[in-house]
Structure 1
Amino acid sequence: MTDADLDAVLSWRNASAVRANMYTTHVITPGEHARWWSQTRDDLSRRYFIFETPDGPCGVVGFTRIGEIAGEAEWAFYASPDAPRGTGSRMEWLALEYAFGPLALETLRCEVLESNTRVIDLHTRFGFRTVETATRIVDGNREANIYRLALDRRKWGGLRQSALDRITKQGPAR
């Protein structure tokens, strides 16, 4: 992700369907977004990528907390409301390849709001397991139930080809 991607990422992040699944659901201002990016872009414990199809960019994948615990990181992603069907699966597969390839992680973790059942199901299909359920504060003032999920390198190694076959069978992003 570069400075040139900021406007697109902000518009995706502010889409109501994306905001509904975040810990902060208000519309992010350009100033807030710029401050976040200035803190993020040079932070070695965070890496953000833009997912592109032949039609252009349509999603963002972020890895955070890289190196805080040896061999572990957390990740999250979201797509443009206009992203082709199947974008989430493609983003997840590529994210896992990066996590267990170039990042050389042993474990990748994430948190998902309990209400976001589509993403919980997606992660489960890719081999993530629920480590625990908990509550988090959303919008600074209310509790929400979350799932903490994890996937390890060994399990991904055994599932990666079948996951790729599933995506390939879906055909081109549409």
Structure 2
Amino acid sequence: MKTLIIKQRNLIFDKNEEIIEHIILENKNIVLKTEKNFFILENYINLDENKKEKIRSYRNHPKIKKYLYNTHYISKLEHEKFIKILKQNNQKQYFCINYNDQILGSINFKEKNNSTIEFGFYSNPFLNILGLGRILEEISIYYSFSIFKKKEMILEIFSENQKVINLHKKFGFQITSKKIFQDKEIFFMSLKNSLQQNLP
């Protein structure tokens, strides 16, 4: 599959392009195919040292961590321990999203119950690709509804992160409730599986 990705020289993913199939590999990595592109969802537990460090650098980037609950610096040791814990946790999945040997970002999922899954993502802060957030959103929705077969997706997001809130709304997510965390407003958002047919 890696050679297929290498052949794709340009990231062309227009809003009418859909994920048409997936392959779940034995090592828990996932291959997603659209009409023009291939993406690899590489499970954190399979990352080599180079990718672990890249993901850690993205997570520690000020642009990323300012919208996360935990804003402290993630050390290499802490990151290693976190990935080791993931190996024993069947309710959480973290993926490094790869395209053409380039990391697009990270997506994480947490199974809340039999019908609901919580998710979050962040893009590679060193990339400047138009529509990258939409690509990660498409992948998240496909994974939750077509692979994990959940009825509802939920997320939490800082109210000041208006750009990503608007992205979620374009895909049908709705604000369901609010809370305050360290003097900051948090929105809870939800998307029902029945809305999947009306994606932009």
Q: RCO greater where, 1 or 2, for CA within 8 Å and sep 6 or more? A: 1
- What code does the residue aligned with 1:73 have? I
Hey, what's the Cα distance between the residues in 1 that align with 2:188 and 2:133? Answer: 19
TM-score normalised per structure 1: 0.83
* Alignment map for 1:1-174 (pairs within 5 Å): 1=43, 2-4=46-48, 5-54=51-100, 56-64=102-110, 66=111, 68-83=112-127, 84-136=129-181, 142-156=182-196, 158-160=197-199, 163=200
1:21-68, Cα deviation, whole Å (9 max, x unpaired): 11111221111111211112331101122212225112010001x1x3
Structure whose residues are more often helix by fraction:
1
Report runs of 4+ in structure 1 exceeding 3 Å deviation. none
Hey, what's the Cα distance between the residues in 2 that align with 1:130 and 1:41? Answer: 32
- What code does the residue aligned with 1:147 have? F
Deviates most, 34-43 or 122-131: 34-43
TM-score normalised per structure 2: 0.72
- What code does the residue aligned with 1:31 have? L
Hey, what's the Cα distance between the residues in 1 that align with 2:53 and 2:189? Answer: 30
In structure 1, the gaps of 5 or more residues are: 137-141, 164-174
2:33 corresponds in structure 1 to none
- What code does the residue aligned with 1:102 have? I
Hey, what's the Cα distance between the residues in 2 that align with 1:149 and 1:40? Answer: 25
Hey, what's the Cα distance between the residues in 2 that align with 1:108 and 1:29? Answer: 30
- Secondary structure of the structure 1 residue equivalent to 2:147: coil
